[in-house]
Each structure stands twice: as structure tokens, then as C-alpha cells.
Amino acid sequence: MIFSSENMTNAIKIQAKKAEEVKVYLMSTNNLSHTAKVHAKEEYIYFPVIRTKDILKKYTIVQISLPKKKEKQKDLKTKISSQLTKKEQEHLKTSFDHIGTIAILEIDSQLEKKEKIIANVLLEMFPSIKTVLKKAGSHEGEFRTQKMALLAGVETKETCHRENGVMLFLDVEKVYFSPRLSTERQRIVKLVKKGESILVMFSGCAPYPCILSKHTFAKEIYGVELNPVGHQYGLRNVVVNKLKNVFLFNGDVRTVVPQLRKKFDRILMPLPKSSEEFLDVALAVAKKGTIIHCYDFLHEEKFQDAVKKIEKACATAKKKCKILGIFKCGQHSPRTFRICVDFEIL
């Protein structure tokens, strides 16, 4: 039984070489405490946890006095409240995408006169942010890119984003990339077995191929991207991260994938808006035992619609499948989520 006391914290005690595994697990289950710091002592790492239930059998739990985290810096709404009217505060969106040294804000039309004030406050709050952009349109076109406008800071749209020890260069206006999929990418990392051949359709600037190469023992990882700018950044990212088992191709998956003349153990389809339209391409290079990860944006009451699309595509291809699970990968709007359906070919 674990008991808490005023000066002690429940923590996972783990060897340093297994620290990354524990960190990913705790972050994916929202169980990493934000009141105490992760602490290293000799060859062990101590991760403070919020809950001990469900992890007692998985990891060693100890009570230890850990250094406390400093009080969090005030949030954007609190920081800027004195410069906005109460009505304007109601329209302020405090969440933003942080990609490398760039912050991307979504500004309501009611706040356009104050957008530069908001951007400069953000620069003051976060020293790591050098450029603040605003979304100047929705994702559009075959490359799913989005127009950006400079609000404050250095005039650039190119940055280097770091994720789990991987450097990813990209232009945020010319290449689709979501930092919010970091946890999802780590979920896939944990599933990959040694020696797998992996296909990543719609690979963009190659975040999935690079991270899978860096953190798994996959035999080979193929990525296919239609956007020539995204493809060029992908090639650059493979080189800067010194990866030897990643092979990237520029073109339409309908044309490129059949030309690979390969069957794959795992196939990723991270194109949420219309990935089901390419299920036939994925199924054509799948074999018995292949795991496919198909992404979608759906209201929580319609998650089964994604399953129906998959089962229909498999029936058309005369393949049997087993649904392994439906996973939320982020919220798009109230009760609407980006999801991933994992399924296996039987």
C-alpha cells in the first residue's frame, strides 16, 4: 500500500536506460505529476506520479522527497487581461501551436486590432519563441497547407522543431505538420517490432519515418509524400538525423506505392480528412499480419463510421480484418476528435 505524506512523493524508480519508456507511458496516460521534478540519482531516475493505481504491478513505486517545480508562469489570458476589455477576453484563444521557435495563434476577428499586442506578450512569456504567426486561412489544397501572417518577432516561417531527440526542419506555411501528434507518434513507436518493414503514406517532412527510425529497430521505413516541398524537407531531416533505413519518395501514393513492389508489416495513413479513400492502396501492399493505422476526424458519436469504412474496403479487397482499437489523437472541436483506427489483416 502506498501512503502519501506532506514532504514525500510517490514516484516510479527506474533504471536510466528505461527512462524514456516510462516518460512516454506516463505522458500518454496523463500520470506525470506537475508539482515535483523528475530526479536522477546514481543509475536511477525517479518519476513523480499522480496515481499509483494500475502501475503498481508494472513498475516499482517508492516514496521519495523530490524538488518541487516552480510556480507556473501566468497564462496568456491572465498576462494580457489588463489590455483587453471583458468582451475581448471572451474571444481570446489561449492555446497555440509551438513549432520550433515559432508560435502559431488563431485570432478571432473581434481581436484583430489587438493581435500584435497579444503576439508581443507571447514573446515576453516564452523566450524560446522568436516568431509569432497567425493563421490566415484554413488548411486547403491537395497539400493541406495553411496561409500564415507575421504578427511579431523574426520574419520567418522556417524553423527546426525538436521531438524526442529528432530534428525536424520545415516551413510551417508550405508543409503540413502537427506538433500535437507527438504522443501519437510515441504510441506507434511502442508498437513496432524488430525487423518490421513500414510504409508511411502522406509522410510530409518525415516526422513519422524519422522518429520510427530513431526509436525502433524497424528494418526499413518507406515514406511517400505528394508535396515536393515537404518531400525536400523530409530528405533534409533524414540526413541531419543520420538515418540509414529511411527511404522517401515524392509523388502520389496511387502511383508510387505499387512501384515499390513490396509488402509491408505496418502501414501508417496519417491523412485525417480523406485517408479512407486510399485504403485500397494500403490493402494492396498488406499481407497476413500487417497492421494498418488509419486516421480520421469524427464526432465521438460516429467513431464506428471509421470502422465501417475499413470493413467495407477490406470486403472489396477480399481481405479479412480485425479491429484492434480506436484511439483519440487530439481534439479538433467540441466532441470531435482526430482518431486512429488500428486494424490487422487476417
Question: Nearest to residue 300, comparing CAs of 273, 327, 268, 277?
Answer: 327
| Contact in structure between 271 and 242 (CB atoms under 8 Å) | no
| Among the ranges given (32-36, 252-256, 271-275), the one the predictor scored with the smallest mean pLDDT | 271-275
Based on the fold, state whether residues 131 and 226 are members of the same structural domain. Answer: no
In a domain, 317, yes or no: yes
State pLDDT tens for residues 4-30: 334 578 888 998 888 888 887 887 677
- pLDDT recorded at residue 241: 96
**Per-residue pLDDT at 262 exceeds 80:** yes
Tally of domains in the chain: 3
Q: Which residues of 146-164 are buried (b: 16+ CB within 10 A; e: fewer)?
A: bebebbbbeeebbbebebb
Question: Nearest to residue 105, comparing CAs of 59, 151, 145?
Answer: 151
**Per-residue pLDDT at 2 exceeds 60:** no
Based on the fold, state whether residues 283 and 328 are members of the same structural domain. Answer: yes
Average pLDDT over residues 218-237: 97
* Residue 175 burial (C-beta neighbours within 10 Å; 0-12, 13-18, 19+): buried
| Contact in structure between 257 and 284 (CB atoms under 8 Å) | yes
- The sign of the CA dihedral 208, 211, 216, 217 is positive
Residue whose C-alpha cell is 467495407: 312
Q: Which residues of 200-237 are buried (b: 16+ CB within 10 A; e: fewer)?
A: bbbbbbbbbbbbbbbbbebebbbbbbbbebbbbbbbbb
**Per-residue pLDDT at 39 exceeds 50:** yes
Distances 211 to 48, 226, 262, 282 between C-alpha atoms, Å: 26, 20, 22, 21
| Contact in structure between 343 and 292 (CB atoms under 8 Å) | yes
In a domain, 3, yes or no: no
**Per-residue pLDDT at 332 exceeds 90:** no
In a domain, 50, yes or no: yes
In a domain, 36, yes or no: yes
User: Of the residues 125, 155, 185, which one is the last residue of a structural domain?
Assistant: 155
Task: State the helix-helix crossing angle for 182-191 and 207-215, rounded to 10 degrees.
Answer: 40
**Per-residue pLDDT at 337 exceeds 70:** yes
- pLDDT recorded at residue 74: 55
Residue 156: pLDDT band (50, 70, 90) is very high
Based on the fold, state whether residues 319 and 257 are members of the same structural domain. Answer: yes
State pLDDT tens for residues 123-135: 998 888 999 999 8
CATH of the domain at 254: 3.40.50.150
One-letter amino acid at 103 equals A
Based on the fold, state whether residues 225 and 145 are members of the same structural domain. Answer: no
State pLDDT tens for residues 74-87: 578 788 878 888 88
**Between 48 and 195, the higher pLDDT residue:** 195
Residue 263 to residue 200: CA distance in whole angstroms? 13
Joined together, the cell numbers standing for residue 51 give: 496515481
Based on the fold, state whether residues 191 and 229 are members of the same structural domain. Answer: yes
Average pLDDT over residues 198-219: 97
Average pLDDT over residues 190-204: 96
| Contact in structure between 310 and 251 (CB atoms under 8 Å) | no
Residue 35 to residue 217: CA distance in whole angstroms? 35
CATH of the domain at 107: 3.30.300.110
Joined together, the cell numbers standing for residue 331 give: 481534439
Based on the fold, state whether residues 112 and 176 are members of the same structural domain. Answer: no
Where in the sequence is the domain holding 53, given as residue range(s)?
Answer: 9-64
**Per-residue pLDDT at 225 exceeds 80:** yes
Based on the fold, state whether residues 213 and 246 are members of the same structural domain. Answer: yes
Residue-by-residue DSSP string for 142-156: TTTB--EEEEEES--
- pLDDT recorded at residue 141: 67
Based on the fold, state whether residues 265 and 339 are members of the same structural domain. Answer: yes
**Per-residue pLDDT at 169 exceeds 90:** yes
**Per-residue pLDDT at 182 exceeds 80:** yes
Mean pLDDT score of the chain: 88
Based on the fold, state whether residues 219 and 173 are members of the same structural domain. Answer: yes
Based on the fold, state whether residues 233 and 252 are members of the same structural domain. Answer: yes
pTM: predicted TM-score of the whole model, two decimal places: 0.77
| Among the ranges given (174-178, 191-195, 269-273, 331-335), the one the predictor scored with the smallest mean pLDDT | 331-335
Residue 71: pLDDT band (50, 70, 90) is very low
| Among the ranges given (3-7, 191-195, 197-201), the one the predictor scored with the smallest mean pLDDT | 3-7
Based on the fold, state whether residues 117 and 246 are members of the same structural domain. Answer: no
In a domain, 191, yes or no: yes
Based on the fold, state whether residues 262 and 306 are members of the same structural domain. Answer: yes
- pLDDT recorded at residue 5: 38
Residue 89: pLDDT band (50, 70, 90) is confident
**Per-residue pLDDT at 70 exceeds 60:** no
- The sign of the CA dihedral 123, 129, 132, 134 is negative
Residue 205 to residue 185: CA distance in whole angstroms? 14
**Per-residue pLDDT at 219 exceeds 50:** yes
In a domain, 262, yes or no: yes
Residue 72: pLDDT band (50, 70, 90) is very low
